[in-house]
Amino acid sequence: MGDNRIHGKLPTSIGKIPSSLGNLTSLSELYLDGNSLQGSIPSSLGNCLKLQALTLAHNNLNGTIPETILSIPSLSTLVDLSHNSLSGLLPPQVSRLINLGELYLSGNKLAGEIPSTLGECVVLRYLFLNGNSFEGIIPQSLKELRGLQELDLSSNKLTGKIPTFLGRLPFLYNLNLSYNDFEGKIPEEGMFKNASALSITGNRNLCGGISTLRLPVCITLPRPLTVASAKHRRSISPKSVRISYAELLKATNGFSSENLIGSGGYGSVYKGILSYNCNEKVVAVKVLNLQQEGASKTFMAECNSLRNIRHRNLIKILTVCSGVDYRGNDFKALVFEFMANGNLEGWLHPTPQANGKNVPKNLSLLQRLNIAIDVASAMDYLHHHCVIPIVHRDIKPSNILLDDDMNAYVGDFGLAKFLPDFSNSSGQMSLTTVVKGSTGYLAPEYAMGGKVSTQGDIYSFGTVLLEMFTGKGPTEDMFKEDLNLHNFSKTALLSEDQVMESVDERLMIDKGEHGQETINNDGKLKECLYSVLKVGVSCSVESPEERGDISDILMELSVIRDMKLQKQP
């Protein structure tokens, strides 16, 4: 009865799984996946003692997993209960499935700890627990699953260190631990040596591992940063403890022009040095221009967004200041980690310095791909892995910041919107009458009174992607009437040679091991650039429905990067 897409009003005897199925004691396989079945899983199925395969995936089933099902000794092929609304704990009786080869529980509402008894299912080859609310650590008992080939624990609330035994499972070739809260050093043995077999995105507190994982070096963390004041000390921590105006005034040398590193419609950003315990911390201080209409609302929007999200490619807020200045005027500021390499805008379009010369900046092809993937990874988290999905609404090069190692971080959440009715509105919400966003990057449907949606962010990302690889901004003088960055890039896709004439010429410069510059124009480069522009064009089409999903886009860009890293025969 699978894959019928049954819908509409159903009689009780059909709309729910009838308990009478338990009378079919000779039943060996039961497939009810891909329908719209409701209600709970009848415990009477435990009477089917010859059942070898059970799949109820992609329905609307709720309630808990009956212990009776987990006690059927004949289940050996698979149990697939994924993509329902099952809740509660995974019963410890799962240990009785000692002959089971595949267990899929993805996309439910299961909570609690992963039961240690799962380690007794020694025949398991595929175990998918992703997309639930499991918490606690990965139990050591899973080291007994010696035949495990794929393990997906992503998008849960798991904590602690990643156990080293996972690297020693002899047949494990795919491990997904993304979007949890793991911390500490990544193991470096076994499968952890193969970055393509491992996914750890969304675990901000991981470090070490092989170089291709691009994680920070593991260090001993210092004590929390404290800032001395006349009356007491305040700790700067992720909890956003507030700091005084006087302390920020001193840190930025009186908000001097020499410390100004950027400005926008709602305020200015200054470089500051906070002194603490005879040490110094370099920070970026964003001071809101409260005379600008909407600035206070922007301040609250950024605070609300940043305190609810955590991802390695999202800018980290250290603390906030909300008070008055020396003149008695309202003062609001946010303090962030300082990004030594500025923003992407400054790298794509360097501006003349005081001496009249341009900064000799250039991003290699691989650096641009890494930045694009970092930004896509942050957007994937915002759109799909927050408790409440978030639309950024202002993805552009000046809001993409770069650290010492050229890792990219998405910042400026002043226009961000939560999508409270995401599950019922196809990722959309009503747009206010005031159009907000940046010219050239704003999705066309917004200008016509359309709805705020994740697809608006996709459009902005596609425009940034095209700008990164053509070197041309969407508001340049050459773009007028019917010619825009999207159409320019789409025309370039007519041939690989035309692509090479349209991309940023700085991409042809390759730096050797000793810093020497050579011109790179090989077939691999053409293929790579063609593929990237194709992604950018597909993201920036006028119709929101045709733009695709950021998860798929992230995967495409990762494949393109892997292609670039592949050496020519």
By the 8 A CB rule, do 375 and 461 touch? yes
CATH architecture of 342-349+361-421+434-565: Orthogonal Bundle (1.10)
**Angle CA(383)–CA(38)–CA(8) in degrees, nearest 5?**
90
pLDDT of residue 430: 44
Please state the three-class secondary structure of 58-81 as a single string: CCEEEECCCCCHHHCCCCCCEEEC
Residue 501 has pLDDT above 50, yes or no: yes
Q: List, as residue ranges, the binding site for ATP.
A: 286
What confidence tens digit (pLDDT) does each residue in 393-410 have?
A: 899 999 999 999 999 999
The pLDDT score that the predictor gives to residue 216 is 79
φ and ψ at 342, to 5 degrees?
65, -145
Q: CA 553, CA 457: separation in Å to the nearest integer?
A: 12
Domain parsing of the chain, residue ranges: 5-213, 245-337, 342-349+361-421+434-565
For the segment 215-231, the average pLDDT, to the nearest whole number, is 48
Q: What's the pLDDT score for residue 331? A: 87
User: Which residue is associated with the tokens 């009186």?
Assistant: 254
The residues annotated as belonging to the active site are 394
Could you tell me which of 378, 408, 381, 369 has the C-alpha nearest to residue 559?
Answer: 369
Q: Which are the contacts of 429, defined by CB distance < 8 A and separation ≥ 6?
A: 417, 419, 420, 421, 451, 452, 453
Distance between CA atoms of 292 and 351, rounded to whole angstroms? 26
Choose which CATH entry (3.30.200.20, 1.10.520.10, 3.20.20.370, 1.10.150.170) describes domain 245-337. 3.30.200.20
**CATH classification (class only), 5-213:** alpha beta
**Residue-level pLDDT at 188:** 85
338 backbone dihedrals φ, ψ, rounded to 5°: -80, 135
Per-residue pLDDT of 402-448, as tens digits, reads 999 999 999 887 787 887 544 444 445 444 434 466 788 888 888 78
Mean pLDDT of 212-230: 54
pLDDT, residue 242, reads 57
261-272 core/surface letters (b: 16 or more CB in 10 A; e: else): bbebebbbbbbb
166-180 pLDDT, tens digit per residue, is 999 988 988 999 999
The H-or-E segment that residue 409 falls in is strand 408-410
Q: Binding-site residues, please?
A: 286
pLDDT at 402: 95
Longest Cα–Cα distance of the chain, Å, equals 87
Q: pLDDT tens across 33-90, in order?
A: 888 889 999 998 989 888 999 999 999 999 999 999 988 889 988 999 999 999 999 9
CA-closest candidate to residue 423, choices 179, 107, 104:
107
Phi, psi dihedrals of residue 491, rounded to the nearest 5°: -65, -35
Domains 245-337 and 342-349+361-421+434-565 share a fold: no
Residue 28 pLDDT exceeds 50: yes
